[in-house]
Chains A and B, each alone.
Chain A
Amino acid sequence: MRTGTMQLRDARLSSSSDVAAAGLAVRVLLDGVWGFAATDELTPAAAVATAERALEVARISRPLVAERVELAPEPVHADARWVSSYRQDPFAVPVAERARHLAGWAGTLLATDGVDHCDIRLNLAKEQKFYADLAGTVTRQQRVLIEPEITVVAIAPDGPESMRSLAPPTARGWEYLTGEGWDWDAEIAGLPEHLAERVKAPGVEAGDYDLVIDPSNLWLTIHESVGHATELDRSLGYEAAYAGTSFARLEGLGTFGYGSDLMNVTADRTVEHGGATIGFDDEGVATRSWDLVRDGVLTGFQLDRAMAARCGFEASNGCAYADSALNVPVQRMANVSLQAAADSTTTQDLIGGVQDGLYVVGDKSWSIDMQRYNFQFTAQRFYRIRNGELAGQVKDAAYQGSTPSFWGSLKGLGGSGTYYLGGASNCGKAQPGQAAWVSHGAPATLFEQVKVLNTRSEGGR
């Protein structure tokens, strides 16, 4: 795994790093007990020694293991190769050229009235994996990921205000920064205006509102309240000490009412440019897409081979992932997305149907409880909706909810024209902690009567 980070502060390079980690891991299943060992020494002798250490770990662990592990079957994929969809490896672009490109953006923004500071961050990743198992599967895979982020800041009389870009992290190459997949000119042109409006915006009045939620915000709500909640290892209790468990239970499969009948959610490890997209997972399973929620009812979970076998599924759906050779593969999230309406409903159509509400754009702060019920999210921008029209920004807002009742209040969906694939590069899980990239798509949505807080009041101000 090679990762690169670059940060510019007010158009000057404040940090640049480039880290390449390589290693080999051996995971053995000895009489139903896992053993894992890893090293960064890439020699045949080290591989043999690492395998012996993994066996030793399995033998030592055996008396303390409560249940014997079995793996769901998977066809052999011999000599399989897969490469993600990108044009230009961003690591092939000289660091100085990367910095000049970003500094150009910053210079444009800093030359605009009302922008006092500009922070730009660029994260890059290139993952190259070789996998082989005793069944005969051998895979070689490579993917490239990129995450640019621009934040402008105004020092207003009553304190700082900021506004961040909406461009999502994505599995693309350098071409993403030169206009393929995102309109940077429009994004950069809009940021100062959005910031200026926020500086002047009044505080929101706390209460219950109809919310039209833009997919640039809703992707994170989906991630937290659906993506993590439908991980079967969480539901079974394997993450109970750390990431948490889930209200979604195996016995609710096919019957549990997750949300309104407009709610159709798929998990997908194949979508082009998805952060969790790959050809084969880290147990040699071919990736796929499947339903998690259909017409508002829980219909699926995310699985690895052990979870699948333990719970009677025919096969894994390919969600095993390790973020480095030094970490054991665990069940991680697919690209989990809310499906758009079949019609051509626009965001404006949804806003037009709201008498008294808020339009929520861009993700910001997020937090959810360990069973994935209680959440609180803020946004880059909250706009007041009055009588079906936008009536300017308000600030200091956060929306709170409890997952099933929140999704039960879903009353409107935009069509495919409103669809956006958002995502994160920092999804954390497991101990030792592992990070993963993941994408989430959604259309514009309408939720009825959601609790909105004024965060200044919450802070006692």
Chain B
Amino acid sequence: MSAGFVEIALAEVKALGPDLGAAVLVSQSSTVNLRWALSGLTTNGLTSSRSVTVIVGAPVSGGTGAGVLSREGLDAEGVRALVRDTVALAREAEPAEDAAPFVTGEELPGFADPAAETGASTLAGVAEALGEVFGRSRAQQRESFGFALHEVVTTWLGTSGGLRYRHEQPRGTIELTGKAGARSRSAYLAGATRDFSDVDVLAMDDEIATRLRWQERQIEVKPGRYTTVLPPTSTADLMIYYLWSSDARTAHEGRSVFSRTGGGTRVGEQISSTPLSLLSDPHHFGLGCADRVLSTSSSPMASVFDNGLDAPSATWLERGTISALPTTRHTAGLTGLPVNPPADNLILTGEGGTGSTLDLLEGVSNGLLLSSMWYIREVDPQTLLLTGLTRDGVYVVENGEVVGATSNFRYNESPVDLLGRVEAYGASEICLSREWGEWFTRTAMPALRISDFNMSTVAEGS
């Protein structure tokens, strides 16, 4: 029925005026989750919902007015009423600055297919393994905490220009935290998956136990600048913020770290001598996402009028040089840059990069290995200086080996500046950003070894 809602809505728009354009998005979501703490299940649940977003463009004095309304739980008559409200909104609106013709096209294969669903069976294997994890934890005087989520969102898009597009997006995440020693020791691992068939909870728990053992020896380390190995999850934390801060319009207006002094943007400028490339690719293996724009609200990174526009692979950083910034059709016009809507994933690769996080320890005579980052916030947009904390394990590395653990730190670092201090990188692997993974799940990142990473103060929290 969801694809049918698109047709009902567009027919209603057509009936209300030949001067109107529209895009209609119907999203059907199905989720299942398990949450646990203190080595026992706590909250968990099953949900289902469907939202309808109607976007209408109407001629008004001085341009095109936009109406955007979203509602959940509608029936067919409710959809028609939603369209009428949206059309009224558009006709009364001030001109929308990002107004553009709605995308044209035809019905693409599979458009009429029904919604995909998930359910308790998707996490049955996780639940079974958790029983053993809880038993092990009690036996080994440690505690287990964590969260597993599986979601499938099916989205149908139709435009008044004839385009019909359906996209099915599975999303799975799992995070495990282990604590020991009256919670003075803490270790964390996470993963992103499409269907949980590749998740080995017991192996993750083994790794948690290993890392907790690494923390049995505590070494005092003072704040300062250290050679630091970031695991892929932390690289993802920093690179996602890089992407989010990189829209072309803000840069063009002189308001971001991607602004060129004197005007324009830094596209074409080399910021790292390391051959690292940052890209979004909707067809990247294991990170597949919509290859067309699906947007229920406008922002500097997306325009509701661009719904259905191709979102092909885009390279934001090519071998250390800024090669593109995200644009909409509107902001491409403002900035003179190509239209470049970002697909919903992010991949950082280093030329010839091989090996894992632990392989990067080899070149470290005296440094630190992080487990994850937390509470990352922007301090200075000019430099994209971010502050945040290390969390759940900072390991002391001497002569290429972990020799113990130290306290957490507050760091102050800029992901743009930091790319200029990459000493070594590993192979890119699918990972989950701890800080932003709830909103940006699909990343593949390498571990990075950074020189002079700024650990500003010791953080007592564990």
Say whether A and B bind each other. yes
State whether the Cβ of A370 lies closer than 8 Å to any Cβ in chain B: yes
**Which residue from A23, A372, A396 sits with its C-beta under 8 Å from B73?**
A23
In whole angstroms, how far apart are the Cα atoms of A35 and B385 in the complex? 43
In whole angstroms, how far apart are the Cα atoms of A370 and B39 in the complex? 19
In whole angstroms, how far apart are the Cα atoms of A173 and B59 in the complex? 31
- The A-contacting residues of B in range 435-462, CB under 8 angstroms, are 438, 452, 454, 456-462
In whole angstroms, how far apart are the Cα atoms of A244 and B49 in the complex? 29
**Which residue from B37, B374, B413 sits with its C-beta under 8 Å from A370?**
B374
- The A-contacting residues of B in range 283-316, CB under 8 angstroms, are 296-299
Stretch from A6-14, A164-172, A209-217 at the B interface: A6-14
**Which residue from A5, A240, A326, A365 sits with its C-beta under 8 Å from B183?**
A240
In whole angstroms, how far apart are the Cα atoms of A451 and B96 in the complex? 46
- The A-contacting residues of B in range 195-229, CB under 8 angstroms, are none
Q: Which residues of B contact A63 (CB under 8 A)?
A: 131
Contact B389 A367 (CB under 8 A): yes
Knowing A40-B72, A237-B145, the reply to whether A96 touches B92 (Cβ < 8 A) is: yes
State whether the Cβ of A111 lies closer than 8 Å to any Cβ in chain B: no
Q: Which of A159, A371, A430, A456 lies at the interface centre, i.e. has the most chain B CB atoms within 10 A of its CB?
A: A159
Stretch from B63-71, B272-280, B398-406 at the A interface: B63-71
Stretch from A53-61, A178-186, A342-350 at the B interface: A53-61
Q: How far is the CB of A33 from chain B (nearest CB, A)?
A: 8
State whether the Cβ of B429 lies closer than 8 Å to any Cβ in chain A: no
Contact A100 B94 (CB under 8 A): yes
In whole angstroms, how far apart are the Cα atoms of A96 and B90 in the complex? 9
Q: How far is the CB of A316 from chain B (nearest CB, A)?
A: 17
Contact B389 A160 (CB under 8 A): no
- The A-contacting residues of B in range 58-114, CB under 8 angstroms, are 66-73, 89, 92-98
**Which residue from B40, B96, B452, B459 sits with its C-beta under 8 Å from A374?**
B459
In whole angstroms, how far apart are the Cα atoms of A236 and B375 in the complex? 21
- Among residues of A, the one whose C-beta sits closest to the C-beta of B70 is A19
Q: Which of B175, B378, B457 lies at the interface centre, i.e. has the most chain A CB atoms within 10 A of its CB?
A: B457
- Among residues of A, the one whose C-beta sits closest to the C-beta of B151 is A432
**Which residue from B98, B146, B460 sits with its C-beta under 8 Å from A241?**
B146
- Among residues of A, the one whose C-beta sits closest to the C-beta of B50 is A40
Contact B145 A20 (CB under 8 A): no
State whether the Cβ of B16 lies closer than 8 Å to any Cβ in chain A: no
**Which residue from A36, A238, A402 sits with its C-beta under 8 Å from B44?**
A36
**Which residue from B47, B255, B377, B387 sits with its C-beta under 8 Å from A155?**
B255
Knowing A40-B73, A240-B179, the reply to whether A455 touches B389 (Cβ < 8 A) is: no
In whole angstroms, how far apart are the Cα atoms of A460 and B416 in the complex? 12
Contact A242 B73 (CB under 8 A): no
- The B-contacting residues of A in range 83-112, CB under 8 angstroms, are 94-96, 99-100, 103
State whether the Cβ of B233 lies closer than 8 Å to any Cβ in chain A: no
In whole angstroms, how far apart are the Cα atoms of A155 and B67 in the complex? 33
State whether the Cβ of B51 lies closer than 8 Å to any Cβ in chain A: yes
Q: Which residues of A contact B71 (CB under 8 A)?
A: 19-21
Knowing A153-B255, A237-B38, A433-B438, the reply to whether A455 touches B376 (Cβ < 8 A) is: no
In whole angstroms, how far apart are the Cα atoms of A162 and B94 in the complex? 27
Main secondary structure of the interface of B (DSSP, over half): strand
Knowing A36-B45, A241-B146, A242-B147, the reply to whether A455 touches B385 (Cβ < 8 A) is: yes
Contact B44 A16 (CB under 8 A): no
Contact B41 A368 (CB under 8 A): no
Interface residues of A, count at CB 8 A: 89
Contact B417 A369 (CB under 8 A): no
Interface string of A140-154 (1 = CB under 8 A from B): 000000000000010
Interface string of A208-240 (1 = CB under 8 A from B): 000000000000000000000000000011111
Q: How far is the CB of A375 from chain B (nearest CB, A)?
A: 8
Interface string of A223-265 (1 = CB under 8 A from B): 0000000000000111111101101000000000000000000
State whether the Cβ of A17 lies closer than 8 Å to any Cβ in chain B: yes
Interface string of B235-258 (1 = CB under 8 A from A): 000000000000000000111100
Q: Which residues of B contact A113 (CB under 8 A)?
A: none
Q: Which of A7, A103, A400, A431 lies at the interface centre, i.e. has the most chain B CB atoms within 10 A of its CB?
A: A431
Stretch from A64-72, A268-276, A293-301, A412-420 at the B interface: A64-72
In whole angstroms, how far apart are the Cα atoms of A371 and B377 in the complex? 17
Q: How far is the CB of B259 from chain A (nearest CB, A)?
A: 7
Q: How far is the CB of A418 from chain B (nearest CB, A)?
A: 27
Knowing A40-B50, A237-B183, A374-B410, the reply to whether A17 touches B73 (Cβ < 8 A) is: no
Q: Which residues of B contact A160 (CB under 8 A)?
A: 254-256, 259, 381-382
**Which residue from B31, B67, B255, B379 sits with its C-beta under 8 Å from A365?**
B379
Contact A326 B47 (CB under 8 A): yes
Contact A39 B49 (CB under 8 A): yes
Q: Interface extent on B, as a size class? A: 35 or more
- Among residues of A, the one whose C-beta sits closest to the C-beta of B410 is A374
Interface string of A348-376 (1 = CB under 8 A from B): 00000000000000000111111111101
- Among residues of B, the one whose C-beta sits closest to the C-beta of A153 is B255
Q: How far is the CB of B321 from chain A (nearest CB, A)?
A: 21
Knowing A17-B297, A237-B38, A459-B383, the reply to whether A432 touches B73 (Cβ < 8 A) is: no
Contact A459 B380 (CB under 8 A): yes
In whole angstroms, how far apart are the Cα atoms of A7 and B300 in the complex? 11
Q: Which of B36, B417, B460 lies at the interface centre, i.e. has the most chain A CB atoms within 10 A of its CB?
A: B460
Contact A34 B387 (CB under 8 A): no
Knowing A63-B131, A369-B375, the reply to whether A38 touches B461 (Cβ < 8 A) is: no
In whole angstroms, how far apart are the Cα atoms of A459 and B416 in the complex? 11
Q: Which residues of B contact A39 (CB under 8 A)?
A: 47-49
Contact A95 B46 (CB under 8 A): no
State whether the Cβ of B412 lies closer than 8 Å to any Cβ in chain A: yes
Contact A378 B379 (CB under 8 A): yes
Q: Which residues of A contact B176 (CB under 8 A)?
A: 241
Q: Which residues of A contact B460 (CB under 8 A)?
A: 247, 369, 371, 373-374, 402
In whole angstroms, how far apart are the Cα atoms of A42 and B71 in the complex? 13
In whole angstroms, how far apart are the Cα atoms of A168 and B207 in the complex? 45
In whole angstroms, how far apart are the Cα atoms of A439 and B183 in the complex? 31
Contact A20 B72 (CB under 8 A): yes
Q: Which of A14, A21, A103, A239 lies at the interface centre, i.e. has the most chain B CB atoms within 10 A of its CB?
A: A14
**Which residue from A99, A453, A461 sits with its C-beta under 8 Å from B456?**
A453
In whole angstroms, how far apart are the Cα atoms of A461 and B259 in the complex? 17
Q: Can you name 9 A-B residue pairings with CB atoms under 8 Å? A: A5-B297, A34-B44, A103-B94, A241-B146, A369-B374, A370-B461, A396-B380, A451-B457, A459-B385
Chain A residues within CB distance 8 Å of chain B: 5, 7, 9, 12-23, 34-42, 53-54, 56-57, 60-61, 63-67, 94-96, 99-100, 103, 116-117, 153, 155, 159-160, 162, 236-242, 244-245, 247, 326, 328, 330, 365-374, 376, 378, 396, 398, 400, 402, 430-433, 451, 453, 455-456, 458-461
Give 19 new A-B contacts, CB below 8 A, not counting A36-B43, A431-B35: A17-B68, A21-B51, A21-B71, A37-B47, A66-B134, A153-B255, A238-B38, A240-B37, A241-B37, A241-B175, A241-B176, A241-B177, A365-B377, A369-B459, A372-B461, A374-B460, A400-B456, A459-B379, A459-B413
